[in-house]
């Protein structure tokens, strides 16, 4: 029984051992998204997104549902985010120990969502945003490059 659990754990960690898949998990943190939404937010080819989502689905990280012709993705279990946050806390603590001279050390509370991406509405913090842009005397934060590009094309629409 323990060996089975270790093997399941290994499969889960293998599925999460990719920065783009971790970014997808992060995007699904508080919302359900279609492949098109994720494609727009990450600015990766749709085929790549579909491959990453297939790996996450096979590992039980995400579940799907169909709405019309679209497949909607959501996290399979809320503990996935808790586990991710715990690993991030551990990594931040290790980083702080290795860089004791840093005047500005990151803390997990700095990673708590504080703002919304104006394009997709995703909650994020200035420290975890993929991109930022100053426009009309305000700083806007974006989850990924696709949302930044959409904002740049039609900034007046979002202000």
In the chain (159 residues long), the average pLDDT of successive 10-residue segments reads 88 91 88 89 87 96 94 94 85 73 51 78 78 89 87 84
Only one residue has tokens 């993705």, namely: 73
Whether 65 and 118 map to the same domain: the answer is: no
Contacts of 133 (CB under 8 A, 6+ apart): 139, 140, 142, 148, 151, 152
Whether 153 and 139 map to the same domain: the answer is: yes
What does the pLDDT read at residue 123? 80
What does the pLDDT read at residue 62? 97
Which residue segment(s) compose the domain that 86 sits in? Answer: 79-105
What does the pLDDT read at residue 103? 43
42 closest CA partner among 76, 12, 19, 69: 19
Distance from the Cα of residue 5 to its chain's centroid? 26
Contacts of 125 (CB under 8 A, 6+ apart): 110, 111, 112, 113, 114, 115, 141
> CA–CA separation, 64 vs 44, rounded Å?
20
What does the pLDDT read at residue 93? 80
> How many structural domains does the chain have?
3
> CA–CA separation, 137 vs 151, rounded Å?
15
Whether 134 and 92 map to the same domain: the answer is: no
Whether 98 and 118 map to the same domain: the answer is: no
**If you count them, how many residues does the chain have?**
159
Residue 132 has phi, psi (to 5 degrees) of: -140, 160
Whether 9 and 48 map to the same domain: the answer is: yes
Whether 44 and 93 map to the same domain: the answer is: no
Whether 65 and 24 map to the same domain: the answer is: yes
Whether 123 and 150 map to the same domain: the answer is: yes
Whether 13 and 66 map to the same domain: the answer is: yes
């Amino acid at each position: 029984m323990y060996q089975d659990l270790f093997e399941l754990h290994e499969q889960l960690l293998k599925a999460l051992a990719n920065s783009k898949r971790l970014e997808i998990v992060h995007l699904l943190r508080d919302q359900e998204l279609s492949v098109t939404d994720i494609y727009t937010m990450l600015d990766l080819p749709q085929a790549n997104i579909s491959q990453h989502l297939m790996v996450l689905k096979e590992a039980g990280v995400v579940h799907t549902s169909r709405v019309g012709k679209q497949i909607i993705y959501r996290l399979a279990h809320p503990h996935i985010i808790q586990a991710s946050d715990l690993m991030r806390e551990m990594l931040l603590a290790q980083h702080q120990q290795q860089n004791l001279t840093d005047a500005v050390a990151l803390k997990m509370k700095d990673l708590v969502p504080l703002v919304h991406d104006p394009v997709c509405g995703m909650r994020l913090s200035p420290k975890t945003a993929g991109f930022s842009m100053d426009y009309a005397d305000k700083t806007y934060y974006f989850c990924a490059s696709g949302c930044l590009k959409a904002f740049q094309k039609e900034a007046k629409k979002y202000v």
